[in-house]
C-alpha cells in the first residue's frame, strides 16, 4: 500500500498509510449493536468486512496537504517501532523530508494521531509549528488516562517552543481551518480546506466516523467514542454538510486511502469511496 494523492483546488491532499490491511472485531467496536444487526450490515456492505462477521476492515492514514503556503501534516500516526516509520516512508514517496513539514495539526489526543509527532522525545518535524485546538489541549492535559501520551508527545513540543494552542476554528494557512467535531473526543477538530469554494472543498476528519458503514448507520458509535450521543450528532451534521457541499472527505480509519464523498440514496446517505 502506498500513498495516494488527489487535487483540491490549489492544494494536493495525500493519504499516507500507517496500518494498511488491519481487521477489528465489529462486535467489540460497536457494542450497542446486536450480532444480528452486524450480520445484516455485513450482508449489505460486504466490502467493508472480512471473511467472517468477526472482521471489519480497519486502517490508519495520516494526511499531508501541500499548497501555496507550505506543507501541512494532519495527524502523525503511531510511534513507530521500525525506522524509517511508515509516515516518513510516505513523505519520502512524495519527495519530502521531515524538515519540509511547515505545520502539523493534531486533530485529537489519541496516540494513533499524535504518536508520530515526536521521535525519542524530540520533535519529529523540527521546523514545523504544531497546532492543537484549545478545548482538546485542555482536556488532553487533564486526562489522566493519557498522561503518558501527553508527556511523551506533547511536552517535548512545548519544551522546544513548537506547540501552538489555538482557537477551535483557527486558520492554519489561508483556506485551511480547524472545524470543531466533538464526540469521539470532547475537543476534536477536523480540518477544512477551501470551505467556501463549491466542488473544491475538503474535510479531513478527526475520527468523526471510523468505518464507512457509519455514514449509512450514523448511530452506530464506536466503543472508543468518549460521548456516543455527541459523536452521533456530530456525525450526522458532518454527513449532511459533506453531501450538501460536495466535499471530498478524508478519513483516518476508513479503507481505500480514506478518500470518498457522501452521497444520498433512497435509504439516506452512503459512502462513495475513491478507490
In angstroms, what is the minimal distance from the CB of 111 to Zn ion?
9
Only segment of 85-93, 110-118, 131-139, 143-151 that touches Zn ion (CB under 5 A): 110-118
What is the spatial distance between Cα 20 and Cα 22, in angstroms, rounded to a whole number? 6
Q: Which of 75, 136, 175, 207 binds Zn ion (CB under 5 A)?
A: 207
CB of 240 within 8 A of CB of 69?
A: no
In angstroms, what is the minimal distance from the CB of 128 to Zn ion?
21
In angstroms, what is the minimal distance from the CB of 110 to Zn ion?
5
Only segment of 26-34, 65-73, 105-113, 137-145 that touches Zn ion (CB under 5 A): 105-113
The reply on whether position 112 binds Zn ion by CB under 5 A is yes
Only segment of 45-53, 147-155, 163-171, 201-209 that touches Zn ion (CB under 5 A): 201-209
The reply on whether position 175 binds Zn ion by CB under 5 A is no
Three-state SS for the chain is CCCEEEEECCEEEEEEECCCCEEECHHHHCCCCCHHHHHHHHHHCHHHECCCCCCEEECCEEEEEEECCEEEEECCCCCCCCCCCHHHHHHHHCCCCHHHCCEEEECCCCHHHHHHHEECCEECCCCCEEEEEHHHHHHHHHCHHHHHHHHHHCHHHHHCCCEEEECCCCEEECCEEEEECCCCCCCCEEEEECCCCCCCCEEECCCCCCCCHHHHCCCCCCCCCCCHHHHHHHHHHHHHHHHHCCCEEECCCCCHHHEEEEEEECCEEEEEECC
Nearer to Zn ion, 175 or 207 (CB): 207
In angstroms, what is the minimal distance from the CB of 188 to Zn ion?
10
Nearer to Zn ion, 67 or 258 (CB): 258
137 CB neighbour count, 10 Å cutoff: 20
Nearer to Zn ion, 67 or 178 (CB): 178
Please, which of residues 138-167 interact with Zn ion by CB under 5 A?
Answer: none
Nearer to Zn ion, 112 or 175 (CB): 112
In angstroms, what is the minimal distance from the CB of 159 to Zn ion?
25
Only segment of 2-10, 149-157, 204-212, 255-263 that touches Zn ion (CB under 5 A): 204-212
In angstroms, what is the minimal distance from the CB of 39 to Zn ion?
26
Judged by CB under 5 A, the number of residues near Zn ion is 2
Residues that bind Zn ion (CB under 5 A): 112, 207
Amino acid at each position: 500500500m502506498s500513498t495516494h494523492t488527489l487535487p483540491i483546488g490549489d492544494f494536493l491532499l495525500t493519504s499516507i498509510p500507517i496500518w494498511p490491511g488491519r481487521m477489528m472485531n465489529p462486535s467489540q467496536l460497536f457494542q450497542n449493536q446486536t450480532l444480528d444487526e452486524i450480520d445484516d450490515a455485513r450482508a449489505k456492505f460486504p466490502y467493508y468486512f472480512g471473511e467472517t462477521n468477526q472482521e471489519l476492515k480497519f486502517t490508519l492514514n495520516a494526511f499531508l496537504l501541500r499548497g501555496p503556503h507550505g506543507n501541512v501534516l494532519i495527524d502523525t500516526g503511531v510511534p513507530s517501532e521500525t525506522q524509517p516509520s511508515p509516515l516518513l516512508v510516505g513523505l519520502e514517496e512524495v519527495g519530502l523530508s521531515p524538515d519540509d513539514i511547515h505545520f502539523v495539526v493534531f486533530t485529537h489526543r489519541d496516540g494513533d494521531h499524535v504518536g508520530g509527532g515526536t521521535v525519542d522525545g524530540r520533535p519529529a518535524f523540527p521546523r514545523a509549528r504544531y497546532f492543537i485546538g484549545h478545548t482538546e489541549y485542555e482536556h488532553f492535559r487533564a486526562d489522566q488516562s493519557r498522561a503518558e501520551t501527553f508527556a511523551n508527545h506533547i511536552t517535548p513540543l512545548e519544551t522546544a517552543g513548537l506547540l501552538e494552542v489555538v482557537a477551535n476554528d483557527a486558520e492554519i494557512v489561508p483556506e485551511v481551518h480547524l472545524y470543531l467535531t466533538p464526540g469521539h473526543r470532547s475537543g476534536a477538530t477536523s480540518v477544512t480546506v477551501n470551505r467556501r469554494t463549491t466542488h473544491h472543498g475538503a474535510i479531513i476528519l478527526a475520527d468523526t466516523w471510523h468505518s464507512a458503514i457509519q455514514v449509512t448507520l450514523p448511530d452506530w458509535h464506536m466503543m472508543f467514542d468518549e460521548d456516543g450521543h455527541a459523536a452521533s450528532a456530530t456525525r450526522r451534521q458532518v454527513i449532511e454538510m459533506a453531501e450538501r457541499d460536495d466535499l471530498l472527505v478524508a478519513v483516518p480509519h476508513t479503507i481505500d486511502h480514506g478518500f470518498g464523498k457522501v452521497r444520498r440514496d433512497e435509504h439516506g446517505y452512503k459512502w462513495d469511496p475513491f478507490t
